[in-house]
Structure 1
Amino acid sequence: MYYSLVSSLLVSSVLTAVDVCANTLPLGPPALVVPINRSFHQKPPVHSSPLPVCDVPKIQEECTNMGNKYRDVQQKLQLASGIDSDIIKLAEGVFPEDEVEEAFIPPLMPYDAPLRGYISDNVDMLYFGDVYMGTPPQKLSFDVDSGSADFWMPVNCSRCERKGFEDTRSSRPKNSDQDERYVSVSYGSGDVQGTLRQETVSVAGLEVPDLFFIAVSDLDGDFNELPSDGLMGFAFSSISASGKPTFFETLIRNGMVPAAMFSVHLTRHQETGSSLCFGGIDRLKTLGPVEWVPVLKETYWSVPMDAIVVNKSEEISTDIIAIIDTGTTLIYVPDQVAFDLYQLIGGRQAPEFGPEFYVYPCNTTPDIALSFDKRPFSIHPKDFNLGRTSEGSEDCVGGILALGSGFPSDLAIVGDEFIKSWYTTFDYTGGPTGGARVGFSPSINNS
């Protein structure tokens, strides 16, 4: 079935409430919806006339950050896949497939929590939500990242602009047998270093008493410029630097969610409305059925991408692995695929901005879709068009960039540019053989 996007929008993007997502499942607790903030807002480039100028330096920064984050992707893709077998066994035993498919509808009364937004340079860069750590709980914030698998928070960090977690205020004893080995992790915005600790961590009322996290004592790069205190990874723990289960995997292990899945709704060009749903699918955020795509290997949330479809008629055949990453803003494809795509829409490479950049005529609105498992999913033109190259220019910067050298020739990184149009569900055990899968449903952004 071919999914194209409706032109009108219901826009939204940082959150103001924590919703409880009630569901029809007889087993387990209700699914929970966590509001998340959208930071670094970019005004809609095709929403006004004349089109605004693209903030090229900010996009160049995003491109560099993506390269840093995925510099060891080849090694991680070759790691043993999956998560702890006990977690999988528990998930399969508690959440039957036929019940997982039921609709989860939020109740009328949400749990409310105040959230903060941060806007800089008119460019969207990340989504973040609230987390509570320690006893008594300290309120902090975290970047939602499905492209990594560690949770870290600054603790006694002299180079950190944000104070982070104050361990001296927590009553948790520092046990002598606690694993405090040194850990270093690379991300798009820089590197973090710290020791592995345990603490009580709560998101949307879901509390894990002894969650492992990286207590960051040093960081570099752009982290100090970001609005969130730390970062929580939602990829498979097989790629974690800590070697420990993720927050969500721990929720599954403890039987705290009704289904072994989480879902993400990312809004467009607005600071409120985005959400992270633990244990279900928020049907109020979708316009249609979920199309499930199998995960290739349980390291990253990676799915088969077999083509890019242009204007519903022309295809660029591919045979690549696409990583679905909420922590990346744009879409990155192999160099040859990017070249072929822009050839089909009258575009050209833009070396004046960098070898990864392409431009195309502003007076065109190409329908571009990514095909996963032989099913195309369109990218909204408001997300693909990043704005004019300069005042009065007839060229616009395209939102699909080339990966550049040093990356596998069969890799794509699919970020928020795509996810804003497709309510995305990350399911650990719902695949045809009990494996993981990713579900895409048309977002209310496109209503």
Structure 2
Amino acid sequence: MLPHLPLSFLFLTAGASGFPMYDMVLYPPMYVRDPFGTFNETQDWHSSTVVPIFDAQPVVAEIEALRLKYQNALDFLAGKDLVALPDALSDPGLDVLTDAVFADTTNTAGHSATDPLTDAIQGKIDIYYGPLGFGKKSQQLSVTIDTASGDLWIPVGCINCDNLQYNAAASSTYRNTGNAFKVNYGQDGTGYAEGTLAYDTISMGGLKVNNQYFGAVTDVSSNFNVVPISGRLGLSFSSIAMSGKPTFFENLIMQERVEAPFFSLHLTRGRASGSEITLGGYDMSKAAGSLTWVSVISKTYWTVHFDGVVVDGNYVSGDIDAAIDAASSFIHVPQALASSIYANIPGAGPAANYDSNFFSFPCDSNLTISLSLGGHDFGLSMRDFNLGQDGDGSKYCIGGIVGMDDTFTQGFAIIGNEFLKSWYSVYDYSHGARVGFAPSINNAQ
């Protein structure tokens, strides 16, 4: 069911290129002052919540994985080595489809599907995954939902995979091209999945794509071998796909299997169940307010303009690009920007017990922190920002905005599910491409 929802449209002009400067300035009056829309989340949760001790190991592992995953990011954002997107994905007719869905006041069910996602919670690390059907008999395999990669891959005859594999021999519609497929996230040989490029019927929630290309992986690095997750579903733009082929959702659009050219995500907080992905629709029961749209400035990742960060009313300028990455757990920004952000938190500074990526702040801080994206403020929950105590019995906690080496993320940030737990998100190919955010029902729980 897709009832009428008020929309807020935004047209964005990208900031100047070059080396960004991170200066604290007064809170600009053009920004929305209520980052949660229709309600504000209380910030006094410390008194009723036991703050755990920060576990650095999985966070450091994620940082290293992101270095590999985004090693080509600056080239992609500069327009280098991109796969041409199909013309159909820029058809003005897509605008009409999206507008019709949001203007529908009759609650008529269209061609959309909602599928449950599971959160594999590992401390403060969240990995959201769900079922995907493969082949004529729709064998179900679990795949990570990744809005910052363009490839679909699963194990087929994999020599070192511990997870459930696809029995391709049982599908009469399976074809293997014999062409090499490799997702390589590191020049030193770490972070890879390789095999051959194949195609078959792929389905999710009753929506099927014929002849969907995917990597039939026969060898993976250990960091991809995470039970019970078999593979990965890339939902970025196919312009960065190693396969050179349209993504599963792009084919749903082009094969006219969905009512509208967008998908939506609801990510739970601290619960293994309850998350969901909706293909071609919007689940208003998971949102507690209207959508605010932010323009996509690069059809590679779901890339938006990261204006800055607001800390207790003080505005820290960013003026960088940012990828919305549901497969990442935290908010990663250039080190200089991270330092400027924490300089506006009384008592905060570099974390003494960890490396320079991490910053600590007084655990009892009553902070309000918002990300400014495309001219609008979107608040962070302190439950997600606070990663735990900086040592047993410490009065200081580690913050969820993590610094990254400036030579790697120069002018670039990664916004993970630390942010998305507070915001129901919509990824729309229409209107020039945009991402919509509505306050999540998580904030009222």
TM over 0.5: yes
Q: 1:340 to 1:154 in 2, by over 3 A?
A: same
The alpha-carbon deviation at position 179 of structure 1 amounts to 3.0
Tell me the residue number matched to 2:272: 271
SS of equivalent residue, structure 1 residue 225: coil
Which residue of structure 2 lines up, in the alignment, with residue 89 of structure 1?
91
Q: 1:47 to 1:180 in 2, by over 3 A?
A: farther
Is 1:445 the counterpart of 2:442 in the alignment?
yes
Q: Do residues 68 (structure 1) and 102 (structure 2) align?
A: no
Contact 2:116 2:275 in 1 (8 A): no
User: Equivalents in 2 of 1:104, 1:225: separation in Å?
Assistant: 44
Q: 2-side partners of 1:137 and 1:382: how far apart? A: 39
Taking structure 1 as reference, are residues 228 and 413 closer, same or farther at Cα in structure 2, changes over 3 Å only?
same
Distance 1:394 1:351, change over 3 A: closer
Note the aligned Cα RMSD (angstroms). 2.6
CA contact (8 A) 1:324 1:415 kept: yes
What are the residue-to-residue correspondences of 1:392-431 with 2, within 5 Å? 392-430=393-431
Checking the alignment, whether the CA contact within 8 Å between 2:115 and 2:276 is kept in structure 1 is: no
Query: CA 1:82 to 1:438, structure 2 compared with 1: closer, same or farther past 3 Å?
Result: farther
Kindly state the Cα deviation for residue 184 of structure 1 after the two structures are TM-superposed.
1.4
- Change over 3 Å in CA distance of 1:271–1:50 after alignment to 2: closer
Determine the C-alpha separation between the residues in 1 that align with 2:305 and 2:117: 36
Given that residues 322 and 414 in structure 1 are in contact (C-alpha distance below 8 angstroms), is that contact kept between their aligned partners in structure 2?
yes
* 1:133–1:376 CA distance, 2 compared to 1 (3 A): same
Q: How does 1:167-246 map to 2 (within 5 A)?
A: 167-172=168-173, 174=175, 179-187=177-185, 190-246=191-247
Structure 2 unaligned residues grouped into runs of 5+? 1-31
Alignment correspondent of 1:7:
41
Asked whether the equivalents of residues 351 and 390 of structure 2 are also in contact (C-alpha less than 8 Å), the reply is no
Change beyond 3 A, Cα 1:318–1:112? closer
Q: State the shift of 1:55 in Å.
A: 1.4
Question: What letter is aligned with 1:54?
Answer: F
- 3-state DSSP of counterpart to 2:148: coil
**Could you tell me how far 1:390 is from its partner in structure 2?**
1.4
Shift of 1:104: 9.6
| SS state at 1:207 partner | strand
1: CA distance, partners of 2:149 / 2:374: 23
Instruction: Please report how far the alpha carbon of residue 64 of structure 1 lies from its aligned counterpart in structure 2 after TM superposition.
Output: 1.5
Question: How many residues get paired?
Answer: 401
- Cα distance in 1 for partners of 2:185, 2:106 equals 33
Q: Is the 8 A contact 2:150 2:240 kept in 1?
A: yes
List runs of 5+ in structure 1 lacking aligned partners.
Answer: 10-44
Kept after mapping to 1: 8 A contact 2:119/2:126 = no
**Does structure 2 conserve the Cα–Cα contact (< 8 Å) formed by 1:91 and 1:252?**
no
1:28-427 correspondence to structure 2 within 5 Å: 46=46, 48-79=48-79, 80=82, 83-89=85-91, 91-92=93-94, 95=97, 97-102=99-104, 118-120=120-122, 122-172=123-173, 174=175, 179-187=177-185, 190-311=191-312, 313-345=313-345, 346-350=347-351, 352-427=353-428
Moved more, 50-59 or 237-246: 50-59
Alpha carbons of structure 1 residues 104 and 261: separation in structure 2 relative to 1, 3 Å: farther
Cα shift readout 1:302-337 (whole Å, capped 9, x = no counterpart): 0111111011x2000111001101011100011111
**Residues 145-176 of structure 1: CA distance to partner in whole angstroms, max 9, x if unpaired?**
000000000010011111311112222364xx
SS in 2 for 1:417: helix
Query: In 2, distance between residues paired with 1:318 and 1:94?
Result: 34
Identity across aligned pairs (percent)?
35
On the 8 A contact 2:83/2:244 being kept in 1, the answer is: no
C-alpha distance in structure 2 between counterparts of 1:161 and 1:250, whole Å: 30
Native 8 Å contact 1:265 1:443 kept in 2: yes
Distance 1:338 1:245 in 2: 36
**Alpha-carbon distance between aligned partners in 1 of 2:106 and 2:230, rounded to the nearest angstrom:** 31
Say which SS state the counterpart of residue 252 (structure 1) adopts. helix
Counterpart of 2:10? none
Shift in CA distance, 438/93, structure 1 to aligned 2, threshold 3 Å: closer
Contact 2:116 2:274 in 1 (8 A): no
Counterpart amino acid of residue 441 in structure 1: A
Partner of 1:179, secondary structure, is: strand
Q: What amino acid is aligned across from residue 327 of structure 1 in structure 2? A: A
Matched-pair contact (CA < 8 Å) for 1:155–1:163 = no
